[in-house]
């Protein structure tokens, strides 16, 4: 069975275009507004939706995404509701979905069952932030993960031998961090993005998407020139926070994101 992530990147390769990956926290600012916002992002042209799974201790996230998780949890978001959220989105859209999560919610739900239920609901991939891929082999329970592509995370500080290992076992796409630190749009992407992408491409043909610090069309275009995709998260989440109570939140997020998407699609590659 073909995976939406793979077919998305094949379509983009055929058109010599980069992917736009939009991150939002599922359930932020509330369940209904979040679902309509995700639909608006898909309608605006996002190629992949990265859904954050709300967690009470998101240590790898900056304050913007931490507060988004808090808002979602305060409005009752849970893993079972996440599954329904995906099903509801799938009733109207076919855009690829990647779940961006810490291990704790997945493990508490049941590692194998989470993969089964998420795939059945319509998710396509998963990025487990705090589970080192080489640790999976040490625990038989964590090898039972059929149905979802496991997205690999590679940072600028990843040593070459580990980079090779991660690249060779990558699925779907590789999330390359443009810089060190926690998530957030407070710092621009590193000028060495091209070097990082080139170093990873020595070991794999898996598409490489770059995120962390991208918040303007100019930054999106620069990163798109050097990679297979652009990930924008905190800049979108900040807009959600600023307009959380606005009845036209989905339209506002679409208007903010459209220039970023257009810049990604036409970066003079």
* Residues recognised as catalytic: 50, 61
Query: Reduced to 3 states, what is the DSSP secondary structure of residue 159?
Result: coil
Which among 59, 99, 57 is positioned nearest to 79, based on CA atoms?
99
Is residue 174 within 8 A of residue 151, CB to CB? The reply is yes
The DSSP element (H or E) to which 7 belongs, if any, is helix 4-14
Query: Reduced to 3 states, what is the DSSP secondary structure of residue 176?
Result: strand
- Give the number of other Cβ atoms within 10 Å of residue 108's Cβ: 10
Which among 61, 62, 105 is positioned nearest to 83, based on CA atoms?
105
Q: Say how far residue 64 (Cα) sits from the centre of its chain.
A: 15
């Amino acid at each position: 069975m073909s995976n939406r992530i793979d077919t998305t990147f094949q379509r983009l390769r055929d058109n010599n275009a980069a992917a736009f990956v939009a991150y939002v926290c599922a359930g932020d600012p509330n369940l209904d507004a979040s679902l309509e916002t995700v639909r608006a992002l898909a309608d605006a042209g996002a190629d992949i939706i990265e859904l954050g799974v709300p967690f009470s201790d998101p240590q790898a996230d900056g304050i913007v995404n931490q507060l988004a998780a808090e808002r979602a949890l305060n409005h009752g978001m849970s893993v079972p509701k996440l599954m329904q959220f995906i099903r509801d989105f799938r009733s109207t859209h076919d855009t690829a979905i990647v779940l961006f999560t810490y291990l704790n919610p997945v493990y508490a739900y049941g590692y194998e069952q989470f993969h089964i239920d998420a795939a059945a609901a319509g998710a396509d991939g998963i990025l487990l932030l705090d589970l080192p891929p080489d640790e999976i082999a040490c625990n038989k329970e964590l090898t039972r993960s059929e149905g979802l592509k496991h997205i690999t995370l590679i940072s600028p500080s990843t040593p070459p031998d580990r980079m090779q290992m991660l690249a060779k076992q990558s699925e779907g796409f590789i999330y390359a961090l443009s810089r060190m630190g926690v998530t957030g749009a407070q710092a621009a992407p590193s000028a060495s993005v091209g070097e990082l992408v080139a170093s990873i491409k020595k070991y794999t043909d898996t598409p490489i998407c770059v995120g962390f610090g991208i918040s303007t069309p100019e930054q999106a275009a620069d990163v798109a020139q050097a990679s297979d995709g652009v990930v924008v998260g905190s800049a979108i989440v900040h807009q959600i926070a600023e307009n959380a109570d606005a009845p036209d939140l989905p339209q506002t997020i679409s208007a903010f994101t459209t220039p970023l998407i257009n810049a990604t699609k036409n970066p003079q590659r």
